[in-house]
Amino acid sequence: MSNREFREIVRIAGTDCDGKRKVLDGLSMIKGVGWSFARALCIALNIPMDTRMGYLTDEEVARIEAALNNPKSLKIPSWMFNRRMDPISGEDKHLITSELELTQKMDIERMIKMKSWKGIRHSLGLKVRGQKTRTTGRTGPPIGFLKSAAKSGGGGK
């Protein structure tokens, strides 16, 4: 460990990771990579999970990036991917960073265009997954509350 040089910032998949963090925490900073997927990557690549990100060699960083771009090559089970049975291509994928954000936006636009229930809720800015809306999810200023009464500390007039 002591023969490796320490780097404050390690850039992986277009994301700056803090070199002081352990590998699991550093990889989970990447959008689309959670703790369990980061753990699976470390096990598949034989990278010790308790090392700091700053002590990773350039070769290890390159292996991690290659694995993030193609996790199927490491025999990571497909149930760990964040995009199973893609509606367009039908294959299992794991999307990271801007690909994930762009795909989510395209999915929402597709639901709005086909006028599904979820699409209608998205277009109206309401809750989508069946949550109650009577008391939560309200927008706008509170109604029935006088600002002047609140400032003076007195009642109503």
Query: Do 13 and 75 fall within a single domain?
Result: yes
DSSP codes, 7-49: -SEEEETTEEEETTSBHHHHHTTSTT--HHHHHHHHHHHT--T
Summarised one tens digit per residue, pLDDT across range 84-136 is: 888 888 888 888 888 889 999 999 999 999 999 999 999 998 999 988 988 88
15-18 and 9-12 beta bridge pairing: antiparallel
Band the pLDDT of 151: cuts 50, 70, 90. low
Question: Cα(43)–Cα(46) distance, rounded to whole angstroms?
Answer: 5
Whether 148 maps to a domain, the answer reads: no
Residue 143 DSSP class: S
Whether 35 maps to a domain, the answer reads: yes
Q: What is the CATH number of the domain that holds 75?
A: 1.10.8.50
